[in-house]
Amino acid sequence: CLLLAAIWFDLCQIILIVECQLVAGTCEIVTLDRDSSQPRRTVARQTARCACRKGQIAGTTRATPACVDAHIVRSRQWCEMMPCLDDEGCGLLINRSGWRCAQPGGRVKTTTVSHNIHLFSVLALLV
Is 16 domain-assigned? no
Is 19 domain-assigned? no
- pLDDT at res. 8: 41
% of the chain beyond a pLDDT of 90: 25
pTM of structure: 0.69
Asked if residues 83 and 61 have their Cβ atoms less than 8 Å apart, the reply is: yes
- Residue 122, domain extent: 24-126
Is 12 domain-assigned? no
Between 70 and 114, where is the model more confident? 70
Is 111 domain-assigned? yes
Is 28 domain-assigned? yes
Q: How confident is the model at residue 69 (pLDDT cuts 50, 70, 90)?
A: very high
Is 61 domain-assigned? yes
- What is the overall mean pLDDT for the chain? 76
Is 9 domain-assigned? no
Query: What tens digit of pLDDT does each residue of 79-121 get?
Result: 999 999 999 999 999 988 889 999 988 889 888 886 554 455 5
Closest CA to 69 of 87, 50, 48: 50
Residues 6 or more apart whose CB falls under 8 angstroms from that of 16 comprise none
Query: What tens digit of pLDDT does each residue of 8-63 get?
Result: 444 444 433 444 677 888 888 888 888 888 877 778 888 888 888 999 988 888 88
Is 5 domain-assigned? no
* Domain count within the chain: 1
Handedness of CA 65, 68, 71, 75 (dihedral sign): negative
